Structure 1
C-alpha cells in the first residue's frame, strides 16, 4: 500500500522526536538535581523547589517512552505462546493485539484530551515558579496520537513476526562490517 509509506516515515520521524524529548527531559531532571546537589554543597541548605520541578518531567518520560517501546516491539508480549500457534492463528492473534493497542491509543487520546482540557490546577513549585497542570496533562493525548500513528507500521510492531534467523544474520553482518571497517582504518 503506497499511501502507508509516507505515514510510516512520519511515524519514524515522530518516534525520533519522542526519543529526543525523552532524553531532554532526563537531562533537564539531572540538571535540576545536580543544581540542588551543588547548592547543598555550597550553602549547606536545600532548594525547596528542585524535587517538585524535576518530577514534573516524569509523565513526559513515562508516556513518551511507552510509545518508543511500542515502535520497537518492546512492549509486553507473550511471544513464546504466540509463536507456537499455527500461522493462521498467529496472524489472528497479531491482529487482535494491534486492535487492542489501537483501542488503548484511542482511549488515551479521548480521555487524555478531556483530562487536558479539565486540567486547571497550577503546580506551585515555589513562590515564583508556578507550572500549569496542562504541562503534564497534554502528554496523555499526545501519546495516544503517537500510538495510533505507530499502528501504520502494522505487524512490524509485534515481535511475533521477527524471524530469528534473519535477525541473527543481520546482527552478524553488522558486526562483520564494523570489524572490517575498523581494520581498514587501523
Structure 2
C-alpha cells in the first residue's frame, strides 16, 4: 500500500506532462499553419511543407489525449447500466473494466513497440525537412505505458463509483460560497 501513493503521484505528474505535451503540439500545429497563412498573404504562393509537417503532431495529440481522458474518467462507459447493478456486481464489472483497459494498454505496448522498431521510413516533409517515422510511432507504446501507470488509480478511473448526490451537494456548497464572497 505504501508503493501505491508514490505511483499515484507519478501518474498525476505524467498526466500533467501529457497535458503540456498535447497543448504544445496544438500550439506548434497552429504556429505552422499561421506561418503558412502569413506566407501566403505576403507572397501569394504557398509553402509546400507546412501541411505535411503539421499533421505529424496529430498522432501525439490523439494518443496522449486518450491517456488524459482515461485519467479523468472521460472514457466510454455504460454508467447507467452499471450503476443499476447491485454493489457486488458493480465492483465485479469495474474490475473487469479495469482488466480490459489493462489488456488494451498491454496490447498498445506490445504491438506498438514492434511497430516502432519496424518504422524505418522517413517522412519527406520537404527537401531539407526529413523526419523519421519513429517520431510518430513511439507515441503508441508510450501511451500504453501511461495507461498502465494510470491503472494505479484503481476505481478512481471509473465513474461508476461517483455518488451523484454527494457531487451535487459539493457543487451547491461551492456555488453558495462564491455568492457570499
| Counterpart Cα distance in 2 of 1:131 and 1:170 | 49
- SS of aligned partner of 1:167: helix
Q: Which runs of 5+ in 2 are unaligned?
A: none
- SS of aligned partner of 2:76: coil
1:114 aligns with 114
| Counterpart Cα distance in 2 of 1:141 and 1:107 | 9
Q: TM-score normalised to the size of structure 2?
A: 0.97
2:161 aligns with 161
Correspondences of 1:7-26 after superposition (within 5 Å): 7-26=7-26
Cα distance per residue 1:84-141 (max 9 Å; x no partner): 0111110010000000000000000111111111110000000100000000000001
1:99 aligns with 99
| Counterpart Cα distance in 1 of 2:179 and 2:65 | 32
- SS of aligned partner of 2:73: coil
- How many angstroms does 1:39 deviate by? 0.5
- SS of aligned partner of 1:13: helix
Residue 54 (str. 1) matches residue 44 (str. 2): no
- How many angstroms does 1:177 deviate by? 3.5
RMSD over aligned CA atoms reads: 1.0
2:140 aligns with 140
| Counterpart Cα distance in 2 of 1:131 and 1:29 | 15
- SS of aligned partner of 1:60: helix
- SS of aligned partner of 2:74: coil
- How many angstroms does 1:5 deviate by? 0.5
- How many angstroms does 1:3 deviate by? 1.6
| Counterpart Cα distance in 2 of 1:63 and 1:74 | 14
2:84 aligns with 84
- SS of aligned partner of 1:64: helix
Q: TM-score normalised to the size of structure 1?
A: 0.95
Q: Which runs of 5+ in 1 are unaligned?
A: none
Number of equivalent positions: 181
- How many angstroms does 1:2 deviate by? 2.4
- SS of aligned partner of 1:131: strand
- SS of aligned partner of 2:127: coil
- How many angstroms does 1:167 deviate by? 1.4
- SS of aligned partner of 1:47: coil
